[in-house]
Structure 1
Amino acid sequence: MNLTHNLLASSPNCEIVFSRIFPASRETVFRLWTEGRHVRNWICPDGFVLSDFESDLRPEGNYRFVISPNLGTDCTMKGIYKRIEFPETLVYTDAVEWDDDSFKEAIVSLHLEEFQGKTKFEMVALYETEEDKNIILDLGVEEGTSEMLDRFESYLLSTLS
């Protein structure tokens, strides 16, 4: 398998893991992943637009963004930053509201590691129960996150040229 493509592993417990290799330094990946002026360029999966975005990147700071599909109901994602260690670790809560439903919060841990002159990116979403994890998987988190990571990589490459 080509390491530059998305790998998804859903563990038997309550985690969903996304992993990629990005052709840039950890510092660049971290900055483009966390700074609002960059996030706006890649956060939406295909068929969605960013209609609202707020982020206070500091421990206990809040973030909130709303993505709107071409047809359908807005999806709000919000949470609280728990740990920020530039350029290697970002931990935050993540809750989704869609179609008037609220879903259980996940704790998301992002880890960036230097790897052969590139950055190994690993994002782990930990849910309270396996049922909560399965609800999110049924909503299409695999496809949506994969598309988001594709957009992130395209944006990253555009900033390097």
Structure 2
Amino acid sequence: MYASNEANGNTSDRELHLTRLFNAPRELVYQAWTDPLHLEHWWVPEGFSINSEYISVRPGGSWRFVILGPDGGYYHHEVIFLETVSPDHLVYMHHNHNETDQCTITLLFTAQDKQTRLNMQLLFPTRAARDKVLREHATMESMNQTLDRLESLLTKIIHLHYKLK
């Protein structure tokens, strides 16, 4: 079945999808995905921290960062930006240098009144790679925790913005 899916251009067995509605304008949600001052406050799940080494958000640009895990381990990552269309979408390849995990991530930011719908697609090179990440890294739970942290940051930014007016 996998071979026939691949031959037909069907990648569904290599994908993960997540959708989230944020109570924030899409320009702000997009900025939270591209500004290192924001990224370091929400990019990782609870118990983890992140340190950006370099970021250049443009096609061909990269973001190199280290995640400190609750186990004391350091995990080196790199994002290579493929498409950056503010505030519409981002496409990037995410690579974990400690392992062979890699995937291409597409983020679509859609305005819905004063809210933003984020559609996120992770595309892995193989079904086995997707399944390994799901099995070994609790990927869906981690992504939901991370997006919960993003939602919390966006709420704080919006409240601060209105207090300053």
Report which stretch shifted further, 55-64 or 71-80: 71-80
Task: Give the root-mean-square deviation of aligned CA atoms.
Answer: 1.5
AA matched with 2:73: T
Report which stretch shifted further, 68-77 or 136-145: 68-77
Equivalent pairs counted in the alignment come to: 148
Is 1:95 equivalent to 2:95 in the alignment?
A: yes
Question: Deviations 1:28-75 (Å, cap 9, x if unpaired)?
Answer: 110111111111111121111114442111110011111111224222
From the two aligned structures, give the one with the greater helix fraction: 2
Match of 1:117 among 114, 117, 124: 114
Q: What residue in structure 1 maps to residue 14 of structure 2?
A: 14
Match of 1:153 among 142, 147, 151: 151
AA matched with 2:128: E
- Provide the rounded CA distance (Å) in 2 between the counterparts of 1:13 and 1:114: 29
- Provide the rounded CA distance (Å) in 1 between the counterparts of 2:52 and 2:87: 26
Return closer, same or farther for 1:116/1:51 CA change in 2, 3 Å cut-off.
closer
Matching of residues 6-155 of structure 1 within 5 Å? 12-98=12-98, 101-103=99-101, 105-138=102-135, 139-155=137-153
Q: Residue 79 of structure 1: CA displacement? A: 2.1
Question: Deviations 1:78-111 (Å, cap 9, x if unpaired)?
Answer: 121000111011000011234xx322x2111000
> Which sections of structure 2, spanning at least 5 residues, go unmatched?
1-10, 160-165
The structure that has the greater radius of gyration is 2
| Structure 1 segments (4+ residues) deviating >6 Å | none
Identity %: 27
- Provide the rounded CA distance (Å) in 2 between the counterparts of 1:145 and 1:70: 17
From the two aligned structures, give the one with the greater strand fraction: 1
> Which sections of structure 1, spanning at least 5 residues, go unmatched?
1-10
- Provide the rounded CA distance (Å) in 1 between the counterparts of 2:43 and 2:18: 15
TM-score, structure 2 normalization: 0.84
